Structures are given as structure tokens and as C-alpha cells.
Structure 1
Amino acid sequence: MIENMEIIIFEIISQAGMAKGLAYKALEEAEKSDFKKADQLLKEADSYLTEAHKIQTDIIQAEASGERTELSLLFVHAQDHIMTAIEARTLIEHMIRMYKKMAEK
């Protein structure tokens, strides 16, 4: 069994939360037409999403190797954080592209 599962779960929540927060900051910068800053913030968000996904993948690989993971509400909550962070980041990227197109006109 994976040791310190609660700490690992909180790390997923933290990484995903940082990613989502940075994506929303990127949107705010795009609203101000600072597209360079917006792109920089999205890249930073991606690094947090990558880390959250890596942790999640490690858990999945451990389970695939026969190491059972106890399903808890906290773990489900962490999964929700990853999914909403990815979805927010994707949607925000599209919105920033729209802001860029509007700024070109």
C-alpha cells in the first residue's frame, strides 16, 4: 500500500489548484491584452498540471502492479480537482485565443 496517501492526495489537490488559479490569472491578463503574460501564465499552469498528472499516474501504476489504493472521498476530491483544472485550462486557452483575435481587429 502507498505510504502517506493523504499527503500524496493533498499534493494532487495543491498542484491542480495552482494550475487552475494560474489559468484564471492568464485569462485576466488576456482581458488586459497582455498576451505575453497570459501565455507565460498558461505555461506555468501546465507545469503544475504535469506534476499533478505525474502523481496521479504513479498511483495508477502502483495499482496496476497489484498495490491496492483505498478509495476515499479525499481521493475522489483530488480527482475532481485535476479534472476541473484541466477543463478550466483548456477553456481558458480558447478564450485567450478569442481575445487575441479580437485585439487583431
Structure 2
Amino acid sequence: MGIIIHGGNARSSAMRAIAEAKNANFGEAEKLIEESNEELNKAHRIQTDLIQAESRGEKTEISLLMVHAQDHLMNAMTVRDLAIEIIDLTKKTINI
């Protein structure tokens, strides 16, 4: 559940960052991207712990919830990456 929670928080922060950039609030947009990064780091730590446990021979049940969590995390990472690009493009458009 931690991966889902932190992934969802990361995605929400990235989406809010885009909204702030659309309003030329680039300082707030950058702050929200940093929040997104922090949430992704938390989710990634949980994922890494699961991977390390499995490498030690501890079995992790592959459930629909686990698949959903991984999908949620990858989605959040993609949204964050795209938000960074959208913010950059918005900055360039406003400066023209």
C-alpha cells in the first residue's frame, strides 16, 4: 500500500506543478516537483526493500494489488517526468 500511497501523492504533486506553471507560478511549480520527487523516493525505497527481500530468498506474493502498485508507481514517474518537460516548455513560451 505504501507504493500506491506515495505514488499517488507524487502524481498529484506533479499535476499540481503543471497547473502552477500554467499560471506562471514557477517557484511553486518547482516546489511541487520536489515534493513529487520526495514521494517517489519513498515509494522507490519500499520497492527496493521488496526486491532486496526477494533476493535474500524471501518470497513476495505476486497479487493484483502488487501489480497495481507497480503500475501506479511507473505512472507517477512518467507524469513527473512529463510535468518537468511541460514546465520547461511553459517557461520558454512565456519568455518569448
Task: Quickly name the TM-score band, shorter chain normalised.
Answer: over 0.9
- 4+ long deviations beyond 3 Å: none
Percentage identity across paired residues of the two chains: 45
1:44 to 35, 46, 57: 35
Measure the CA separation in 1 of the matches of 2:17 and 2:82: 12
Residue type of the alignment partner of 2:78: E
Query: By how many angstroms is 1:102 displaced?
Result: 0.6
Asked if 1:55 is matched to 2:43, the reply is no
Let me know the Cα RMSD of the aligned residues: 0.4
Q: Which residue of 2 aligns with 1:67?
A: 58
Q: Which residue of 1 aligns with 2:89?
A: 98
What TM-score do you get using the length of structure 1 for normalisation?
0.90
Unaligned 5+ runs, structure 2: none
Measure the CA separation in 2 of the matches of 1:44 and 1:71: 29
Query: By how many angstroms is 1:83 displaced?
Result: 0.2
1:21-56 residue CA offsets vs partner (Å, 9 max, x unmatched): 000000000000000000000001100000000000
Aligned residue pairs total 96
